[in-house]
Amino acid sequence: MSAWDDAAASALLGTRRRAALPPSLLTAPGPLAPAAEHLAALAAQDPARALLDAAAVLAPWRRAGRAPALADAPDDQQPAPTPTGPDEGSALAPAAVARLELLLASPRNDEVTALLREWLEAAAQHGRRLPAEHLPRLLTDAARDTALAASLAPALGARGRWLAALRPDWQRVAGRHAQAPGGPTDTSPEAAARTWGTGSAAERRLLLAALRAVDPAAGTALLAGTWAKESGADREALLPLLADGAGPWDEALLEQALRDRREAVRTQASRLLLHIPGTALRERWTARARAAVRAERHLLRWRIVVVPPEPLTADELRELGGLGGLGGQRRPQGTGERAWALEQVVAAAPLDTWTSASGRSPEQLVSAPVDDDWRDPLHRGWVTAASRQGDAEWARALLGSGESSGVVARTPPQQVARLVALLPPDEAGAVAARLLRGSARTSSTVQLVLDAVPTPWPAVLLDAVLDRLARPVEGAAWADRSLAATAALRLAAGAGAAAARRLGDPDPTSPPGHLLRVLSFRHAMLEELR
């Protein structure tokens, strides 16, 4: 951790809980030594003022960088960095450089950030070399924006990675897509024990992930050996890595994690135990589900018979991760305890519980009548199960024909979006188009579903967007502006010609005008990078 990071941590926690001055500053050599002496004396009398003075000293020092070391430099001066090798990629066209400079100079908002990310991703895709003079600005911005960092890292090239290695915050940007230092993680027993015992948090996560890829049980044994000594934050960060290669060897540790103080740890443990075939937890909840719900044939029709379970006990809620159950929300006001228990029991069971027992398809089960008005909690449970288990066939059945199926209208918008995200792009686009055409205004459900459709949006969704913008609804100007702003970044950049034919020559400040302007900008931007 740098002196600046130390000072920031002290400011966050307060000088009563943490030393006011970074240790590395107190022993600073060279030009910072006189300031360090002054700050050390001040800290004994007024720690808060000393911390503010330290920030005043460190801020310009941090911005100024450092002078290159000379061959006969004194011992307390940092050695000169090793020169970078030849850079990768081909040079950018002047127009592409000008476009990048325009984006960097523009006031930063969501649209500008999205355009900058698209520019960087296209530059990496086409093997273009980033201008050296803009690397510091890009790295600094990306250090504060994880989404931008994900787009920048693959485009950095040799020079960018070399430069990023010179500052800790820049290292984190490049490291998101970089291999562990020294090459692939060594998973031999001796090296694993050494790294697990003395490595950094990042090195330990890399080791556990590498072990799970080659010997899942060994990874579990390593984590189980130190589980009781791990901090809460480390338990929360390490447990999700067991999802890769999850199997019976994980059950004992996951059962222990169900009793963790952190709800996030309990929730992850519950989901993994319900996912692994044969675990005691999965078998218990499957049995409860079968006792509560069954499909029966009555004359020529199938129907769903429900025997609602008793309200969930505290121990049963703990098995699902906490009071929020599998849906992550506490029992809504107005929902009965047995209805909510039914929803949780159904959500916890494997989806093939219903198809294997009845021989019916998900679509047939979703469309079957449900006895005694238990339809809504049953369907909500299936929605949560499909989202949690990543089942596209069940998602397709539950989404049905859009809002006319009723399931979408009765399901929270976030859950609908999760179902749509499970579908192939063309199907997801078709569902979004159907919802968009079926609503007079762009509702929160429609907006979240649009966000769930992979980019670039398919033609069926382009048609629905253009239909909406070509025939604006009175009182929906704000919704149309939001739709145009989203579509301008999600549609294929080449869709501008089709949009212009449909929308004509609109006012540049209107939603259609905004859509055409951004599509034109993106099309020119991507052409410059080819």
What is the DSSP secondary-structure string of 187-243? -SHHHHHHHHHHS-HHHHHHHHHHHHHH-HHHHHHHHHHHGGGS-HHHHHHHGGGGG
Among residues of the chain, what percentage have pLDDT more than 70? Answer: 88
pLDDT given for residue 401 in this prediction: 53
Between 21-25, 356-360, 433-437, the lowest mean confidence (pLDDT) is in: 21-25
Distance CA 451, CA 445 (A): 10
- Per-residue pLDDT for 291 more than 90? yes
pLDDT given for residue 183 in this prediction: 42
Please report which confidence band the pLDDT of residue 393 belongs to, taking 50, 70 and 90 as the band edges.
very high
pLDDT given for residue 225 in this prediction: 94
pLDDT given for residue 179 in this prediction: 43
Between 219-228, 234-243, 434-443, the lowest mean confidence (pLDDT) is in: 434-443
- Per-residue pLDDT for 79 more than 70? no
Q: What residues contact 189, with CB distance under 8 A and at least 6 apart?
A: none
Over residues 184-226, the pLDDT tens digits come to: 567 888 888 888 988 878 788 889 999 999 999 999 999 999 9
Please report which confidence band the pLDDT of residue 269 belongs to, taking 50, 70 and 90 as the band edges.
very high
pLDDT given for residue 189 in this prediction: 86
Over residues 348-360, the pLDDT tens digits come to: 999 999 998 888 8
Once rounded to an integer, what is the mean pLDDT over residues 331-345? 85
Instruction: Judge whether 28 and 3 are in contact, CB under 8 Å.
Output: yes
Please report which confidence band the pLDDT of residue 27 belongs to, taking 50, 70 and 90 as the band edges.
low
Token code pair at residue 239: 């447990």
Task: Report the run of H or E that residue 431 belongs to, with start and end.
Answer: helix 425-438
pTM for this entry: 0.76
Over residues 113-156, the pLDDT tens digits come to: 999 999 999 999 999 999 999 999 999 999 999 999 999 999 99
Number of H helices, E strands in the chain: 30, 2
Between 9-23, 76-90, 96-110, the lowest mean confidence (pLDDT) is in: 76-90
Among residues of the chain, what percentage have pLDDT more than 90? Answer: 53
Distance CA 449, CA 53 (A): 50
Distance CA 151, CA 141 (A): 12
Once rounded to an integer, what is the mean pLDDT over residues 48-53? 84
Instruction: Judge whether 316 and 354 are in contact, CB under 8 Å.
Output: no
- Per-residue pLDDT for 63 more than 70? no
pLDDT given for residue 371 in this prediction: 82
